[in-house]
Structure 1
């Protein structure tokens, strides 16, 4: 039986583009693992996607995963069929423009085939302690590298 993992993610950017950080909490039973990272030149959306990628990549076996993110960009692309349309349209948006962050979207596509992943939208900078902790991790990563 697959393990059920809860993941919270967040990305942050100091300037957009600018220095970026990401943070994630992985929770299984009563265990919690924190992961975070830094990019010297990035965007907020790239950090949101990177947080999800890094968190899923930290899993050591196929799992049932619930990802909670305050990024409408990430959650809507997964839940509203944007990603499927982009791949069907050769990575073009409805406006016939190239999709941004194709490299990261391709990684996410691969990862969601390895795990059973459900994406959930949470309100950012609100009263969710897990989302707030991910925001702290992301901002701390920027601060530690500035």
Structure 2
């Protein structure tokens, strides 16, 4: 892993928001390159979606925006769903044909289309660290992503 003592090469802050669940939703990310000071923000909108889908979409869009697959990226999210999905649950879902265990049986996986996209992106960006940040707690980049995501669905 190209991890150095100075930390990740790129920081990816993400957030999703929904006006109702389901309802109109927005996603947002901030990419920061600490060494150069470069910052890139982006956001988007879906008319009828869920908060979890927007959380996933924020990570997908942010990873897609990276220009180098070998970069050490730290993904900072306030979503345990995203973090645990990528770190703990995805391997089992894949093994079970993208299904999850429910009451001893295999059941359809919600948002499997987005999880499959994240699986491809995770393979393309193998040097990834996931960090959960507390949402709505004064974390500047997380708060900014929330602001962008909410604006994305409210302005449509």
TM-score (normalised: structure 2): 0.88
SS, match of residue 72 in structure 2 = strand
Partner of 1:103: 113
The root-mean-square deviation of aligned C-alpha atoms, in Å, is 1.4
Report the Cα offset of residue 23 of structure 1.
Answer: 0.8
Partner of 1:126: 137
CA distance in structure 2 between the aligned counterparts of 1:34 and 1:118, rounded to whole angstroms: 20
Partner of 2:100: 93
Structure 1 runs of 4+ with >4 Å offset: none
CA distance in structure 2 between the aligned counterparts of 1:140 and 1:11, rounded to whole angstroms: 11
Q: Unpaired runs of 5+ in structure 1?
A: none
Q: Unpaired runs of 5+ in structure 2?
A: 3-7
Report the Cα offset of residue 25 of structure 1.
Answer: 0.5
Pairing partner for 1:112 from 88, 110, 122: 122
Report the Cα offset of residue 20 of structure 1.
Answer: 0.3
Larger radius of gyration: 2
CA deviations on 1:82-128 (whole Å, 9 max, x unpaired) are: 01001101112121211101110011000111112111111111021
State how many pairs are aligned. 144
CA distance in structure 1 between the aligned counterparts of 2:94 and 2:131, rounded to whole angstroms: 22
Partner of 1:40: 47
SS, match of residue 97 in structure 1 = strand
88-97 or 124-133, which moves further after superposition? 88-97
SS, match of residue 109 in structure 2 = coil
TM-score (normalised: structure 1): 0.94
